[in-house]
Structure formats: structure tokens, C-alpha cells
Amino acid sequence: MKLFTIFGNPISHSKSPRMYNKCFKHFNLNNYCYTRTLLEDGEKLIDVFKKLKISGASVTVPHKEWAYKLCDEVKGIAKDIKAVNCLIQEDDKIVGYNTDAEGFVESISEFNYKSVLIIGAGGTAKALSKMFKNAHILNRSENRLKTFTNHKTFTWDSFEINQYDLIINTTSAGLNDNNLPTPKEILEPLLKKAKYGVDVIYHETPFQKLAKEYNLEVKDGSDMLVYQGVLQFEKFVDFKIDKKEVATLMKSVL
């Protein structure tokens, strides 16, 4: 049996097991199984990975930066963003990758935008900042913004209301509560001028509801989940796949 999992906190909402197990079955990988693992302490991520004898894992909030720090080797864009969302057992090493950014860009390929605001400054925001070179970053506090040295950054207190075509929420606001990613007095003027509102959370959130009220074209994180998942699936099975075929399979269970 080859065991795969997703580490996160919270994690009961995750649809990843449905997606990956559907694909394992399709490719007759009957000895492959994908589960959820609630991990409260990110420092124990690799210990749990080894204890459960996991072959590969997805990593979601809030553990992507711990995954980067603790794995044996980091490859690809994950080196730059210092956040890992995919762990693979490769020989005697646990190797970290990041598929968030490529998956997100693919998910909004039909959008026509120039200016971008990313709300949040965690692992997903770092990944997306590498794809959106001119994006502005808005976060509650200053500390996490220090890593975005090539972008214009703001805290809630220092923010200057501007016009952005695309607003992306990368925070966990709305994941398990009714919170907005910023105070309403900051968010509403932005939404009045924007064209698109995208949330990395894959159920409807207060951010998405408010964006719809201002007639934005809105997406949740489902497509991003699928496209970054396709890239992870290829790493899990270690053979060339038809990415469109796998994307269709994954979407069928969401």
C-alpha cells in the first residue's frame, strides 16, 4: 500500500481525498490511498510523515512554511517562495515542491486583467507573488510583508485605496468563520472598482458574497485546487499523464 495524505488545520473540509482517490482508481492504482491528516503542530510534520510511512503529501494552511523548513530538499519555485505544498518521498529524502502558483494562474486563464491586489502574506501569497510580478500585497500586520521585497506592500493602517482589476484573497478568512479578509471599509471601495474577485478557499465565503454584490466576476478556489492537484498527482504517480484528463476526473468529484 502506498499512502498519501493532506496535512492541515483545519482539514475536515478538504476535498482532496475525493480527487486523488478518483484518479488512482481510474489508473488502476489499487494499492494507492489518499487520506486527511489533522496536524496541529507544524513542527511535527516530518515526524508524522515518517511515522505513517507516507509516500507523498499535500500541505495546506497553516503548514506550508513548516514544510519548507523541515523537508530534506526543496525544488522549483518553492525555493524562491520558501513555502511547500507538496512533499514526495524520493529515495531516502523527503523533497518539497510548490504547485500553487501554476495551478492558480491556469485557473484564471480566461480573465483579462492588468492590476492585481493580493490580500494576505502567507505561503499562498508568496507563491502567487512570483507569478504576479507587479501585484500589490495587503496584510493585517507588517511582519510578514518583509519577505515581499520586490512588491509594493501595505498594512491595513498604511493602505492607500487604489484601483485593481483583480483582487485575490489568500487569507483563511471565511474558511471556517464569517470574517472578511480586511475590514469592510477597506474592501468595499476596492470592490466597487474591480473586475474580478478570486478566493483560494473552495466554498463560498463572505469575501465572494460581497464581491458578487458589486457585480464582480467571482471564482472560489476549486479550479486552483484542481490544477495544482493535477501537478501534484503527476509527482505522486511518477509517470506522464494527460493533464486535461486528470483535471476532468478531479472536477467530477467536486
Is 64 among the catalytic positions?
yes
- Residue 194 and residue 250: Cα distance in Å, rounded? 30
In this structure, what C-alpha cell is assigned to residue 240?
Answer: 506522464
- Residue 8 and residue 6: Cα distance in Å, rounded? 7
Q: Considering 15, 25, 64, 251, which one is annotated as catalytic?
A: 64
Q: In what order do the strands lie in the sheet with 166-169?
A: 152-155, 136-139, 116-119, 166-169, 196-199, 217-219
Residues 6+ apart with CB under 8 A from 137: 117, 118, 121, 125, 129, 145, 148, 151, 152, 153, 154
Residue 146's Cβ-count burial label (10 Å; 0-12, 13-18, 19+) is exposed
The amino acid occupying position 81 is I
In this structure, what C-alpha cell is assigned to residue 132?
Answer: 504576479
| Residue 161 and residue 186 in contact, taking contact as beta carbons nearer than 8 Å | yes
Name the residues annotated as catalytic: 64
